Structure 1
Amino acid sequence: MVEKSAEDAIQAAAADLLRHYTLGSEFETYLAHLKGNDLVLGVALIENHEQAALETAKQISDLFRQPFLTASGSLGANLAIGVAVADPSDWNPELILENAELAVEDACEKELRQISLFVPSMRAKYEHRERIRSSLTAAFENDEFVPHFQPQFNLKTGKIIGIEALARWKHSRFGWISPAEFISAAESTGDINRLGRSILEKSCMQLRRLPDEMTLSVNLTLSQILDESLPEMLLECLTDTGIKGYRLKIEISETQLSKNLDKIWRVLSEIQECGIAVSLDDFGTKFAALRHLTEFDWDEIKIDGSFVDRAFNNEKHAEMLLATLNLIANMGISTVIEGVETVEQRDALVELGCGLGQGYLFSGPLDFDDLMTLFFSRPQLEELVSV
């Protein structure tokens, strides 16, 4: 996130550039604003010519390839462009702007900021997202959010050693909703902390039914981590459910470690002071940063399955994986391998010295009753129920 003064400088420079470009233009509307350090631009045309619209967008994109020269220095912005077209006989300024903004959202979702042309499916996607958002209140009232659990195993012995809680929602009308959809919706409505606490409390209550040596891992979003009241909430949950802190692990994805690092480290340190372990999740998903391993005293590193897949198909990646595993081991940090799907993978990982893992070779996420049935014998179940 760029500083406010830099945002203002980019905004002003972008406005001047657009103003110069649009002098004498036949195009109806240009809409621009900043999202962090991303310049978001909508172009609306009064002629129903998609090719002309895309050519215009390309010309504007070319204008912004060079850094802006501002009073604050040379500044750059990632440009996302959304394009909407309409027939002059059916011109609706409000609708065309909405369509352009939906196209902008689509452009922003792409890894590289690109030009997106509005298509009706974008509005269908938007309306579906709004239905999900509007259903959240009733979902909380009806207690529809539940945890499912993916087991974690000792790769050598095959013994279950822990579980990872994953939020699930079965909508009364739409059925199972993708976690990516409802977690994003909860973030946008400010309900993410409520959702997180609900899943954590339910998961801890289920953990009470498992042997004391088994642990519970819970993923948190960046907004949850940045909430300074998080350590207090975790302690309250442990107290209310009677779970000891050493049985809980809080996971944060490496992909979330791009900004606000000082605050993230501070909150994570406070969590550790509560006796709760902290795990770096999804390590190696894209561009694994070794500095993330050294800037914080992690209790656990979870290596993403894609990192492992690349290692099995490329000698250099295999060397990199081995070096990473050795580095983590030398730092005294526990390692969990994600995405273990075949016996061959498991055997190779054991040879590399990997002790713990999870993946579909063992099980996908399950509701708690299925977990108990699959991984505990009847005598064990009777013993655990009696505890």
Structure 2
Amino acid sequence: MIAETPLHPIGHEIPALRADIDPLTGLGNARCLRQTVIDLAKERASDPAPFTIGLANIDGFKPINDLFGPAAGDEILCQVAYRLQACAPEGATIIRSENDEFAFVLPLVFERKGAEKIGQMLKEVLSAPFDLGDRHVRLSASFGFAVYPFAGEVFDDLLKSADTALYRSKRRGRGQITVYSQEIAQEMKRATQLEQALRNAIIANEVDVHFQPIVDLRNDAVVGFEALARWCDADLGYVSPAVFVPLAEERGFIDSLAEVLLRKAAHAALSWPKELFLSFNLSSAQLMDPATSRRLLSIISQIGLDPRRLELEITETAVMADADIAQKIVSELRAAGVRVSLDDFGTGQSSLGRLRDFSFDKVKIDRAFVSRISADRASEHIIKAIVSMCEGLELEVVAEGIEDFSEALKLKALGCGLGQGYFYGKPADAVATMRYLADRYRDLPGQPDRA
């Protein structure tokens, strides 16, 4: 861990003697950024040599602030400022532009590769643990760079380009680095159009839920359904959930999308036989929000769904984003009776550590192993080992992506308890799901007596 001294003791803020100084960190502020860039551009007016401005945003800062309090948040911001100043390249100006965002003016960085190199160095510096007294916190940062004059000849255009690059980095995940280009600008424009269409679809209740059956492999009986988001826009056509769900996370309205989906799914589940459970996916962003458990429990309470019929799926990657907050959310949900499963098991990092640290009820084997089980002995042995391990840990096992009879037969022979995939049923809307159930149950509400 990097040893560091904050710029000043927390609770004793620097007097705002100058309008261009950030009182918390002592760095320049947004006004300073503007003037520094304008002055540098004037210096190079006769010989317009390029220079670079960059933006860095601390990933996941808000949940840390919410969990540990604003004083801890201020401490982290001061430590970030100290690190950036300590490793700033020659001639650079470091600025706290707003909240958890920092900026830097790099007079001696002239092109994309140089900017990427600086970004990688800063990323590594900020990845070391931050010291908060009795605890250490790990954070990451996303970066966006813009090179003058190619990305803008006036300050506002240059800053907008850097912001566009930063936004693209955040879309791609934590700790990403992007240097602005025209291609990136077009990509972000399309993403903005898609965002507006999705926001409108949420308001209009046009995002739908489909359900895929999960079966007991011992007797092929349906035991529950996984809820899967579906969206077909009048102008855009079918939009994959792999596109619009991450977009909602990145743009900060995943809670609105999740609420619409969970309400629809829970309402549909009320019409199913009471022994069937509803499986619902939680996003990475939701697992970094301490209010998630309260929000989800409130929704199913309003709908009237027994929390013991709800199962929430989380991925290893989502858990790793902020393990402390994720663990708190999982504990609160399980205390209310909600079951929690670890999704895509075997494809993330530290799988065994997550099983040890978290109280999961179920593990879902990723389809990457299931799809090769008939032809690849390594995949077969991996699944066999997972099943054996989960038996010892008293965890249920679900095999995802079962496509044909041979895969199902293999999994049964290996002792896998549950399964889902196209072999047992494709995702279908609520009406089709009720028809699917009507073929298997005689006492569904609204079904005629077939005795």
Query: Please, what TM-score do these two structures have when normalized by structure 1?
Result: 0.76
Q: Do the aligned partners of 2:374 and 2:406 also contact (CA within 8 Å) in 1?
A: no
Separation in structure 2 between the aligned mates of residue 354 and residue 197 of structure 1, nearest angstrom: 32
1:246 is the counterpart of 2:316? no
Equivalent residue number for residue 196 of structure 1: 258
Where in structure 2 are the equivalents of 1:152-191 lying within 5 Å? 152-187=214-249, 190-191=252-253
SS in 2 for 1:56: helix
1:361 is the counterpart of 2:423? yes
Q: Of residues 351, 368, 390 in structure 2, which corresponds to 1:328?
A: 390
Q: Do the aligned partners of 1:107 and 1:116 also contact (CA within 8 Å) in 2?
A: yes
Equivalent residue number for residue 385 of structure 1: 446
Deviation at 1:327, TM superposition (A): 1.3
Q: Do the aligned partners of 1:44 and 1:85 also contact (CA within 8 Å) in 2?
A: no
Deviation at 1:220, TM superposition (A): 1.7
Change (3 A) 1:16 1:148: same
Equivalent residue number for residue 126 of structure 1: 188
Give 1 or 2: higher helix fraction.
1
Q: Which runs of 5+ in 2 are unaligned?
A: 1-59, 62-71, 132-136
Change (3 A) 1:42 1:111: farther
Separation in structure 2 between the aligned mates of residue 235 and residue 87 of structure 1, nearest angstrom: 52
Q: Do the aligned partners of 1:82 and 1:100 also contact (CA within 8 Å) in 2?
A: yes
Equivalent residue number for residue 36 of structure 2: none
Deviation at 1:7, TM superposition (A): 5.2
Deviation at 1:242, TM superposition (A): 3.7
Q: Deviations over 1:171-194 (max 9, x none)?
A: 343333333444344445654333
Q: Of residues 115, 123, 126 in structure 2, which corresponds to 1:57?
A: 115
SS in 2 for 1:130: helix
* Letter aligned with residue 362 of structure 1: Y
Q: Do the aligned partners of 1:148 and 1:366 also contact (CA within 8 Å) in 2?
A: yes
Q: Which runs of 5+ in 1 are unaligned?
A: 23-28, 47-51
Q: Do the aligned partners of 2:141 and 2:175 also contact (CA within 8 Å) in 1?
A: yes
Q: Do the aligned partners of 1:66 and 1:76 also contact (CA within 8 Å) in 2?
A: no
Deviation at 1:334, TM superposition (A): 1.0
Aligned length: 372
Q: Of residues 213, 218, 234 in structure 1, which corresponds to 2:280?
A: 218
* Letter aligned with residue 206 of structure 1: A
Identity of aligned residues (%): 26
Q: Alpha carbon RMSD of aligned pairs, Å?
A: 4.3
Equivalent residue number for residue 372 of structure 1: 434
Q: Of residues 270, 286, 302 in structure 1, which corresponds to 2:364?
A: 302
Separation in structure 1 between the aligned mates of residue 152 and residue 322 of structure 2, nearest angstrom: 46
Separation in structure 1 between the aligned mates of residue 97 and residue 152 of structure 2, nearest angstrom: 27
Equivalent residue number for residue 213 of structure 2: 151
Q: Do the aligned partners of 2:116 and 2:178 also contact (CA within 8 Å) in 1?
A: no
* Letter aligned with residue 249 of structure 1: E
Separation in structure 1 between the aligned mates of residue 120 and residue 355 of structure 2, nearest angstrom: 39
Query: Please, what TM-score do these two structures have when normalized by structure 2?
Result: 0.67
Q: Do the aligned partners of 2:151 and 2:158 also contact (CA within 8 Å) in 1?
A: no
Separation in structure 2 between the aligned mates of residue 8 and residue 249 of structure 1, nearest angstrom: 41
Deviation at 1:58, TM superposition (A): 5.6
